[in-house]
Amino acid sequence: MSARKKGSNRGKSDEIYIPDKLYFRIGEVATLCKLPAYVLRFWESEFPQLKPVKSSTGQRMYRKRDVENVLEIKKLLYEQGFTIAGARQQLRVETKSEKGQQAAIPFPGPSSSEIQHIRQGLREILTLLSTKRTG
């Protein structure tokens, strides 16, 4: 029987093994992830990445990718101390980078020499303007 490891905490006893099957009921996911089912239902409303399909009987059916997302959300919230909004943003960034899109990179600020150059240029403009008014 094949099983997949989840998590980057290699060698720790608390690693989660996701069985190799197509769908998991919410109770199975709750047990696997050591979370109450109501937390999973709440996270569905907070994280767009978490979209289990509903069976003909209305049961939530999580795919393997959904279970992996639950584990990632749990890690962000409980281990890394993210807020829900912060975890949502982090997952967005991770999803973009997985799809080959570049995550937003902060625009580099000007260096100290560039700022000095800009200030000097502004002083020159100010000098020109003040001499035209007095002259």
For 3-12, how does the pLDDT look when each residue is reduced to its tens digit (9 = 90+)? 444 444 433 4
How many of the other CB atoms lie within 10 Å of CB of 126? Answer: 10
Residue 70 lies in a domain: yes
- Asked if 49 and 95 touch (Cβ cutoff 8 Å), the reply is yes
Residue 110 lies in a domain: no
27 within a domain of the structure (yes/no): yes
In this prediction the pTM is 0.60
119 within some domain? no
Is 77 a member of any domain?
Answer: yes
Give residue-wise pLDDT tens across range 24-49. Answer: 999 999 999 999 999 999 999 999 98
Q: How far apart are CA 95 and CA 105, in angstroms?
A: 15
- Is 69 within 8 Å of 29 (Cβ atoms)? no
Comparing 34-48, 85-99, 117-131, the range with the smallest average pLDDT is 85-99
**Count, residues in the chain:** 135
User: What does the pLDDT read at residue 131?
Assistant: 81
Cα torsion for 2, 39, 96, 52, to the nearest 10°?
60
The percent helix, strand, coil of the chain (3-state, each to 5) is 55, 15, 35
**Segments forming the whole domain that contains residue 16:** 3-98
**What's the structural domain count of the chain?**
1
Does residue 22 belong to any structural domain of this protein?
Answer: yes
